[in-house]
Structures are given as structure tokens and as C-alpha cells.
Amino acid sequence: MKALVWHGKEDIRYDTVSDPEIEHPRDAIIKVTSCAICGSDLHLFHNLIPAMLPGDIMGHETMGEVVDVGSAAKGTLKKGDRVVIPFTIVCGECEQCRRGNFSVCEQTNRKKELGDKAFGHTTAGLFGYTHLTGGYPGGQAEYLRVPFADTTHVKVPDGIDDEKLLFLSDILPTGWQAAVQADIQPGDTVAIWGCGPVGQMTIRSAILLGAKQVIAIDCLPERLSMAAAAGAITINFEEESVVERLNELTGGKGPHKCIDAVGTESHVSFGQPDTILDRAKQMLMLENDRPHVLREMIYVCRPAGVISIIGVYLGLVDKIPMGQAMNKGMTFRMAQAHVPRWTGDLLRRIEDDQIDPSFVITTKPILLTVPRCTAPSATRPTGASKSCSGPDPKLEKGGIHVPRKHHWDRPFGG
């Protein structure tokens, strides 16, 4: 089959690989119909996440049709079922799964000893990600083996386009959890850093949860325009001071809830000198992440407020003002999304026309052309908010929006 394969830093290739097979009775094989590119894929593309190996298949926002089912998964899945695959692989049996903490499932990381060493205690297995989380092949391919398939799937009905359902795999529940774990209440002012796809879903979730005032922070006008479309007040941090503007919008008290939808690769600019220092340290491997957003959130958040972190962090961060956080009595909540905890409810909201997540799609490349679109969107996000690929050549590249057309026209590989 064809697949997008990680070969090293900035080196993703459109390779021919062997087909996946059922390896365990709980497995299923799906024929992929759509798979999106995630911000986390860019961290892999930039080789910031350790323990990737050449030959690893990318992709963790996948949906498709079941084409083969292991004997132990036949009670819940059958050939022909249409499924969205959560990026977290869950057993459904361990103590963490029973508590709803699916992203820290105790059983699905097949390289548990690595996870234990890296994190202290293992987290869940993830598709298309580092070997610290199992190194499972991802869904940017024609076929995907789904381990623990009897519990790692969301059955979805026919009659709704892939584009509306695909993001149940990651960014919709991720944005929803960012808002939920901030404990958003009616009357709250919620500030959200980062208007990429996760930030956009977080903005919609905060509004659905009744936040009185949602403030979206980014530097890309097109992303801010998308945030404003949902009713958010926008701050372009390259044009105005985030702290001053947030204080102005909250009567000098700061937002009740601050949400980090940026994570490790925050924007580097001379206007934010700490980001330059972080970038230099990152290059010298003295620091893993660029935590400018964390510092700013802790500083500006209202005392006794909540900091919700959903943007991915990788390892060690420097100069976090714990003195401010402790003295202001902040509550911190963070996690990789516990996807299956929210998908049933969110699917119902999609069916009920409360939200249509397809608004975030700006590019629909076919699988062959994804390496070409990964590269330019990686270093500087260009408002190509979300790309979802389909291996079917019939899915023409026209899509909804194709940025930087010259890349698509250029012969491949050169």
C-alpha cells in the first residue's frame, strides 16, 4: 500500500509499504477514507519529539471502513462499518480507562518500558507518534491496523460527510476537553492562546459552554478572522500588547480561564524576547519547549483562575514563574485529550447541527501530495488551518482551499 513515512527531520516520503495484517484477536484493519494533518505531526516533522524511527507511518486523525476484524473484536465491529479512529488507543479495561482517563490507558502502549522511563509511568499508545507511546503505524496510508479495535473506534452513521466526522478523532474532542477542563461557567471570560485547528475547536467549545466573553490570541489575520466568525474577540499579538488588552477587556482583573492551544512551538519574534532565548536553547538542546504562552497565561490570569493546557508539550521547560502561579492560587489542568470520553456526546452535537467541524478544513490534498504541503505549512503556519488527505485519487486537490498553488503544480520530488 502507499503511505506517508517518516524518514527524518523534514523528510516525509510517499513510500510503498507492506499491507498491515491482523496481529491480535482484538485488531481490525480499516481502509482509510480520510486522514488529517495535525499540529503534532509538525512536531514530528521538525524532529522535536524523540524516538521516531525511519519507516514510521504518520497520521493519527483517521477514519475509514472496516475491512477485516479479529476474532475478539467481532462482537462490536463488522466488515463495512464506518468508523472514526481516536488518536489514543484504549483498552477500556484498566483502572485509568474505567475512570475516563483514556489518554493514560495503562495497557495499550506496547513499549511500556520506554513509556515508564520517559514519563515515570506509561501513557496510552498513540497512532503515528513516537515509540515512547508505542510507535504504532498511523493512518496517512491506504490501510490502518487498529489495535484494541473493539474499544478504539467511534461508529459513525452513513449520510454525513467525512469532513464533518473526521475531527472526532482528535481536534474536536481535544478542543472540547480544553474548555471542559477549564470548567467554563456562564459569565466567564476565557482567553485562548493559539487559533490553529485545536484553538478554533476550543473557541467553539467555550461558546457552546456559555462563556460570556471568548478572547482569541494569534498573529495570523486569517486565523483571527476564523475566530471572530464564531464570535470571539481577537487580539493580534504582533499589533497590540496581550496583557494590556486582556486587562482592558476584563476591567483590569484578567481572564477567569486561560487556555493554551499552542504548546511547544510558540511563535518566535523580537516582540517577545523570551521566545528568542527559548528558540536558541531549543536548538542547542538545552530546553525542549518554548513556553512563552504558559508564562503569559500565568502572569495575566485572574487570581484563583484556571490554566488549561491542551497544546502539546514535549519535555523540559525553563523559566516558568511558579511564584506567580502559587501566590495567585492558580489551578492547572492538562492532558492529551481523553478522546472516547467525549466522542458520543460530540457526535450527537454534530448530528444535531450544534457544530459543524468541517469549517476548519482549508486544504484537501490527495495522499501523494501531502509531503509537498507538509513542508511549507510547517515552519510558519500560513492559515492553511487544516489539511485532510484521502488516499483515493478521486479526491481531487481542489478541495475547499488550496494554499500556495505553485507547490501543487510543481513536479513532485524536486
Partner 1 sequence: MSLVNITGIVRSEGDPHIEDKGPSSLTGADRLARALGWFSIGLGVTELVAPGRLARALGLDDKAGLIRAYGARELASAIPTLSVDKPVGLTARIGGDVLDLGTLATALHRNNPKRGNAAIATALVAGITLLDIAAYAGVKAAHRREPGSDRNYSERSGFPRGAQASRGLARQDFQIPADHRAEGMVADGLPTLVA
For 144, phi and psi rounded to 5 degrees? Answer: -135, 130
210 touches partner 1 by CB under 8 A: yes
Name 363's bridge partners. Answer: 387
**Closest approach of Cβ 35 to partner 1, in Å?**
15
379 touches partner 1 by CB under 8 A: yes
Residue range at the interface with partner 1 (CB under 8 A); choices 16-24, 86-94, 120-128, 287-295 = 16-24
For residues 6 and 54, the answer to whether their CB atoms sit within 8 Å is: yes
184 touches partner 1 by CB under 8 A: yes
Selected from 355, 386, 388, 399, the binder of partner 1 by CB under 8 A is 355
161 touches partner 1 by CB under 8 A: no
Selected from 194, 357, 365, 399, the binder of partner 1 by CB under 8 A is 357
- Retrieve residue 389's grid coordinates: 488527505
Please give the distance of CA 393 from its chain centroid, rounded to a whole number.
26
19 touches partner 1 by CB under 8 A: yes
11 touches partner 1 by CB under 8 A: yes
**Closest approach of Cβ 80 to partner 1, in Å?**
23
**Closest approach of Cβ 411 to partner 1, in Å?**
9
For residues 108 and 101, the answer to whether their CB atoms sit within 8 Å is: no
| Nearest 10 degrees: Cα torsion 305, 309, 313, 316 | 20
Residues in Cβ contact with 192 at an 8 Å cutoff, skipping those fewer than 6 apart: 178, 199, 202, 203, 206, 214, 215, 216, 217, 232, 259, 261
> Measured between alpha carbons, how far is 110 from 122 in angstroms, rounded to an integer?
10
Name 35's bridge partners. Answer: 62, 389
**Closest approach of Cβ 65 to partner 1, in Å?**
19
111 touches partner 1 by CB under 8 A: yes
Q: In the range 58-97, which residues lie near partner 1 by CB under 8 A? A: none
What string marks each residue from 222 to 241 as x (binds partner 1 by CB under 8 A) or -? xx-xx-xxxx----------
Q: Which is nearer to partner 1, 57 or 191 (CB)?
A: 57
Selected from 103, 123, 133, 181, the binder of partner 1 by CB under 8 A is 181
The SS3 assignment for 341 reads helix
For residues 168 and 349, the answer to whether their CB atoms sit within 8 Å is: no
116 touches partner 1 by CB under 8 A: no
Selected from 160, 376, 397, 408, the binder of partner 1 by CB under 8 A is 376
The SS3 assignment for 2 reads strand
DSSP string spanning 300-328?
HSPTT-EEEE-S---S------HHHHHHH
> Measured between alpha carbons, how far is 364 from 161 in angstroms, rounded to an integer?
14
312 touches partner 1 by CB under 8 A: no
Q: In the range 269-288, which residues lie near partner 1 by CB under 8 A? A: 279, 283-284
Question: What amino acid occupies position 234?
Answer: T
Selected from 40, 359, 365, 399, the binder of partner 1 by CB under 8 A is 359
Q: In the range 332-351, which residues lie near partner 1 by CB under 8 A? A: 333, 345, 349
- Among 177, 91, 97, which residue's Cα sits nearest to residue 168? 177
Selected from 26, 60, 131, 245, the binder of partner 1 by CB under 8 A is 131
409 touches partner 1 by CB under 8 A: no
Going from the C-alpha of 202 to that of each of 92, 206, 215, 341, 401, the distances in angstroms are: 26, 6, 11, 16, 22
Q: Which is nearer to partner 1, 80 or 218 (CB)?
A: 218
Residue range at the interface with partner 1 (CB under 8 A); choices 149-157, 246-254, 312-320, 401-409 = 401-409
* Count of CB atoms situated within 10 Å of the CB of 274: 16
> Measured between alpha carbons, how far is 94 from 92 in angstroms, rounded to an integer?
6
200 touches partner 1 by CB under 8 A: yes
Q: Which is nearer to partner 1, 244 or 345 (CB)?
A: 345
Residue range at the interface with partner 1 (CB under 8 A); choices 69-77, 82-90, 201-209, 295-303 = 201-209
Residue range at the interface with partner 1 (CB under 8 A); choices 75-83, 291-299, 309-317, 354-362 = 354-362
